[in-house]
Amino acid sequence: MTDYLVSTQGLSCERDDRVLFEDLTLKFSAGELIQIAGRNGAGKSTLLRIIAGVYTGFEGAINTAFFKHQLCYFGHKVPLKPALTADENLSAHSLLASSTTRQQRSDALARFGLDDYIDVPCSDMSEGQRRRVGLSRIFLSKAKVFVLDEPFASLDKETVSFLEQVLVELSDLGNLVIFTSHHHIEHPRLKKVVLDG
């Protein structure tokens, strides 16, 4: 019998008197790379928020076989404080998860090409740079489930290619990776769940 990290049964959600999805049954295991697809307004972000445990306005059952600290959630809006530097934002986040050193945070930023921005306030960065600061949390996390909402938004072509590789590598290491994107990814292990909405 397969042990699923995330499974749902009869999952339904309605917002603003509109059904986003209903009777949704999903089964996701460790090592899988899952793309949640569908048109705008189909409920992709809502489904990710349900999986991440930050939205409870649904019916049906969802079972997760991981602890809260084993989840890395990257929402559509980058959760950074503009007045803080990249390092300060990552340090504040690590206090809520596992502690990190300045060198580890610097290394994580460097992987996204931001090694010269460690002490720059996020208010002085472009939207793409701020997103890369947020995404660098991936390299500081000890999570085994990664849930990312539109992670490719506002990124340049080179960073998009790099992030594609990162997500594949995370799943290769046995992590469950679930993401939404209108960006097309080619990978033999990629599984798509399409919400009709």
**Domain edges within the chain:** 1-66+144-197, 79-142
Distance of alpha carbon 146 from alpha carbon 171, whole angstroms: 9
In terms of C-beta density within 10 A (0-12 exposed, 13-18 middle, 19 or more buried), how is residue 40 classed?
A: exposed
Percentage helix, strand, coil, to 5, in the chain?
Answer: 35, 30, 35
Give me the chain's average pLDDT, please. 93
pLDDT for the residue 1: 41
Bridging pattern class, strands 145-149 and 176-180: parallel
Provide, rounded to the nearest whole percent, the portion of the chain with pLDDT above 70: 96
> From CA 133, how far away is CA 105, in angstroms rounded?
10
What separation in angstroms does the CA of 86 have from each of 91, 107, 136, 156, 159? 9, 12, 10, 19, 18
- Please, which residues bridge with residue 195 across strands? 38
Range scoring the smallest mean pLDDT among 92-106, 150-164, 175-189: 92-106
CATH match for 1-66+144-197 among 3.40.50.620, 3.40.50.11540, 3.90.25.10, 3.40.50.300: 3.40.50.300
Tens-place pLDDT, residues 27-61: 999 999 999 999 999 999 999 999 999 999 999 99
HEC-encoded secondary structure of 42-103: CCHHHHHHHHHCCCCCCEEEEEECCCHHHEEEECCCCCCCCCCEHHHHHHHHHHHCCCCCHH
> Encoding tokens for residue 67?
């602890």
